[in-house]
A and B are shown apart, each in its own frame.
Chain A
């Protein structure tokens, strides 16, 4: 059973960089797309971006100038960095895996982490 676990600081100061890591267990990070998604009461669910195990990325244009997603296949982890944060970046951050069926892209997320609350405050 694939499991994802987010980790990182729960409190980040304004203007600093938010850094989170998602550790994948029970399966390989290879051959899948991995995404970061955040959730706020006000804006709901927002897709931040994805990374393929090979390192190819795609970011939400609304965050692109501040986002970096990277992958470490040797550790079965991928990471999120969001720079110059403000209170508007306070959210529950989820990592998730893109679902493939017999190798075919299905446009959905089949495994999610439990989520981690990140608060931006001084």
Chain B
């Protein structure tokens, strides 16, 4: 299985300041079709996960443009340009390049 490792575990951020989350995979996520199936999800307290970013850097419908994704191969980053109160929650990366699909352990974003 591909292991997804996220850092940091927790990220206390001041409102209006940026936040960055790293996700590293145990092997390349480049699929034989040329795509890299790395997505990011947000889970607010008491809610199911919500899709933010797919295929590394594509924002899903309705996702604010303060969220951006980047990376390649085995190293990926989710950035929030200016954290707002509604961004509090746990963020997960997920790979769908190889079965079984696997998730990172999560990074908790909280307000300082």
The number of chain B residues with a CB under 8 A from chain A is 28
Instruction: Identify which of residues 63-122 in chain A touch chain B, using a CB-to-CB cut-off of 8 Å.
Output: 94, 99, 106-110, 112-115
Main secondary structure of the interface of A (DSSP, over half): strand
Known A-B contacts A107-B37, A108-B37; the reply to A45 vs B103 at CB < 8 A is yes
**B34 touches A (CB below 8 Å):** no
B60/A109 in contact, CB under 8 A: no
**B50 touches A (CB below 8 Å):** yes
A107/B105 in contact, CB under 8 A: no
Residue of B nearest to A110 (CB): B51
A94 to B48, CA, bound (A): 8
- Interface residue from B48, B51, B100, B105 paired with A108 (Cβ < 8 Å): B51
Residue of A nearest to B50 (CB): A112
Of A13-21, A22-30, A54-62, the one with at least 4 CB within 8 A of chain B: A54-62
A58 to B99, CA, bound (A): 8
Main secondary structure of the interface of B (DSSP, over half): loop
The number of chain A residues with a CB under 8 A from chain B is 20
Residue of B nearest to A94 (CB): B48
Interface string of A22-49 (1 = CB under 8 A from B): 0000000000000100000000111100
A45 to B50, CA, bound (A): 13
Contacts of A114 in B (CB 8 A): 47-48
Among A94, A99, A108, A110, chain B packs the most CB atoms within 10 A around the CB of A108
9 A-B pairs with the lowest CB-CB distances in the bound complex, closest first = A107-B37, A107-B96, A108-B54, A108-B39, A45-B103, A112-B48, A47-B101, A60-B100, A106-B54
